[in-house]
Structure 1
Amino acid sequence: MVARGKESGRTPDPLLLALRMGPFFASCAFYFFLWLPSEEPRWTSALVKCLPVLCLAAFARASASPGPGRRFTPPGLLCSALGDFFLIWPSRFLFGMAAFSAAHLCYLGALGWHPLRPHLLGPVAAAFGAYVGLLQPQLPPGLGLPVLLYAALLGLVLWRALARGGPAALGGLFFSVSDAVLAWDTFVRPLPPGRLIIMVTYYAAQALLALATVEPGAPKAD
C-alpha cells in the first residue's frame, strides 16, 4: 500500500503543513515580540533573527517532495541564515551579501529552468535595471559591482520563481520587495517603517519558497 503524503505524489494536508510550520511561526512571533534594537548588534539579536529561517530549513528538509527543491532549498535557507547573521553587523555587509548570493544560487537550482518562459525575463530585467540605476549613485565606493551582481542573481531568482508559479512566484516577489526596501533604507534614505516591511516580506518570502518544495512533481512545459 502506498503511504499518503509526499510518497504518493500528493500535496500533504494543509493542517499537517501548518503544524510542521509551527516552529517557524513561533520563532517569527518571538522575533517581532522582542524587536531587539538594530542599533545595538548582539549575538542574541543574530540568533533571534536567524531562528525562523533555520526552522524553515528543517521544515523543507523533512517535508519536501523528492527533486531539486529537496536538494537545494534547505542549503539555500541555511545560507540565508548565515546572511542574516552577518547583516546584524553593518561592517560585515559584504559577507552577508555573499551568503545571500550563495542562497540565490541554491534557489535557482531548486526552481529549475523548465518551463523557461523567456517572456517574463524582459520585464524583470527592466525593473531591476532601473532600480539598480537609481541606487548606483548612492552606493559607497567598492559596492557598485557587488550590488549589481547580487541584483542580477536576485532578478534571475524572480524570473524562475514567476515561471514556476504558485508559492514560489509570490516568494520571489516578496524577496525582491524586501531587498529593494533594504537597499533604499540603507543607502538612500531611512524609512520609518523600513525594518518592519523588510522583515515581514523577507520571512514571508522564505516561507513561500520553502512551501514550494512540497508541491508534488515539476511544473508542466508550455
Structure 2
Amino acid sequence: MAAHGRESGRRRTLDTLLLALNLVPFLASCTLYFVLWLPSDQPSWTSALVKCLPILCLALLVHTTAPRRPYCQFIRAGLLCSALGDTFLIWPNQFLFGMAAFALAHLFYLRALGWLPIRLALLGSVAAISGLYFGLLQPHLPSDLWLPVAIYVAILGLMLWRALARGRPAALGGLLFSLSDAILAWDAFIWPLPPGRLIVMVTYYLAQALLALSTMEAGAPKAD
C-alpha cells in the first residue's frame, strides 16, 4: 500500500510538471502581450495576433492534452470563438462582431457546463446582479447597442450561473470572465479607468486559463 501511495504521488508530480510545461506557450504569449503593450488606439493585425495568441495557445492545449469528451470540445470551441472576438475588438468599428463572437463563445461554454445541478438560488443571485449592472450601464449606451448588450449580458449571466453551479476551476473562470467584461463595459461606456485595460486583460486571460484547465480534471464533467 505504501508503494502504491508513492507511485500515485510520483504520477501526480509528473502530471503537474507535464501540465506546467504545456502551459509554457500560454504564459510566454501572455508575457509577450504585456511586455509589448501595443497601443489600443493603433489597431493592426500585429496587435490582433499578439492579443489572441494566448487564447489560441489554450485552445491548442485543450486539443492536445484534454480527454476526448464533449465538455472539452465545447470549451475548445469557446476559446476559438474568443480568439475571433479578440481579433474583431482590435478595431472599434467591429465592436458588434466582437461581441457576437464572445456571445457565441459563452454559448459554447454554457453547452459544456450543462444544466445540472440546477441551483435556482444561484440563478436568482446572478440575475439580480446582472440586471442591476445593466441598469447602471444602459443610460450610457448608444441607442443601437442597447439590445445587443442586453442579449450579451443575459448570455454571460447564464454562463456564470452554470459555471458557479459546476464549481471547480470553471466557477472561478466564470467569475473572472464576468468581472473582466464588467470592468471593460464600465471603462468603455461609463467612466474611463486609467488601469482599466490592464485589469481587463489580466482577469480575462486568467478566466480563459481556468476554463481551459477545467478540462484537465479527472472529474471533468461530460456535457449534459
Query: Which residue does the alignment assign to 2:35?
Result: 33
The one-letter code matched in structure 1 to 2:95 is F
Asked if 2 retains the 8 angstrom alpha-carbon contact of 1:162 and 1:172, the reply is yes
The CA deviation string for residues 131-187 of structure 1, in whole angstroms up to 9 with x for no partner, is 000000000111001000000000011001001111100000000000000000001
Asked if 2 retains the 8 angstrom alpha-carbon contact of 1:125 and 1:155, the reply is yes
Query: Which residue does the alignment assign to 1:217?
Result: 219
Change (3 A) 1:146 1:42: same
The one-letter code matched in structure 2 to 1:158 is L
| In 1: Cα distance, 2:202 partner to 2:173 partner | 12
What pairs up with 1:36-185 in 2 under 5 angstroms? 36-185=38-187
Change (3 A) 1:218 1:207: closer
| In 2: Cα distance, 1:196 partner to 1:12 partner | 34
- Secondary structure of 1:210's counterpart equals helix
- Provide the TM-score with structure 2 as the length reference: 0.91
How many residues get paired?
Answer: 211
| In 1: Cα distance, 2:207 partner to 2:50 partner | 18
Query: Which residue does the alignment assign to 2:6?
Result: none
Give 1:70 deviation, angstroms. 1.6
Identity %: 69
Asked if 2 retains the 8 angstrom alpha-carbon contact of 1:111 and 1:160, the reply is yes
- Provide the TM-score with structure 1 as the length reference: 0.91
- Secondary structure of 1:114's counterpart equals coil
The CA deviation string for residues 175-210 of structure 1, in whole angstroms up to 9 with x for no partner, is 000000000000111100000000000000000000
Query: Which residue does the alignment assign to 2:3?
Result: none
Change (3 A) 1:69 1:192: same
| In 1: Cα distance, 2:150 partner to 2:81 partner | 20
Structure 1 unpaired stretches of 5+: 1-9
| In 2: Cα distance, 1:200 partner to 1:218 partner | 25
Larger radius of gyration: 2
| In 1: Cα distance, 2:220 partner to 2:204 partner | 25
Structure 2 unpaired stretches of 5+: 1-11
Asked if 2 retains the 8 angstrom alpha-carbon contact of 1:175 and 1:202, the reply is yes
Change (3 A) 1:70 1:218: closer
Query: Which residue does the alignment assign to 1:15?
Result: 17
Asked if 2 retains the 8 angstrom alpha-carbon contact of 1:107 and 1:157, the reply is yes
| In 2: Cα distance, 1:36 partner to 1:74 partner | 27
| In 1: Cα distance, 2:41 partner to 2:208 partner | 24
| In 1: Cα distance, 2:61 partner to 2:176 partner | 20
Query: Which residue does the alignment assign to 1:4?
Result: none
Give 1:112 deviation, angstroms. 1.2
Query: Which residue does the alignment assign to 1:208?
Result: 210
RMSD in angstroms over aligned alpha carbons?
A: 1.6
Query: Which residue does the alignment assign to 2:4?
Result: none
Asked if 2 retains the 8 angstrom alpha-carbon contact of 1:53 and 1:80, the reply is yes
The CA deviation string for residues 81-134 of structure 1, in whole angstroms up to 9 with x for no partner, is 000000001100000000001100100111111222222111100000000000
Asked if 1 retains the 8 angstrom alpha-carbon contact of 2:141 and 2:189, the reply is yes
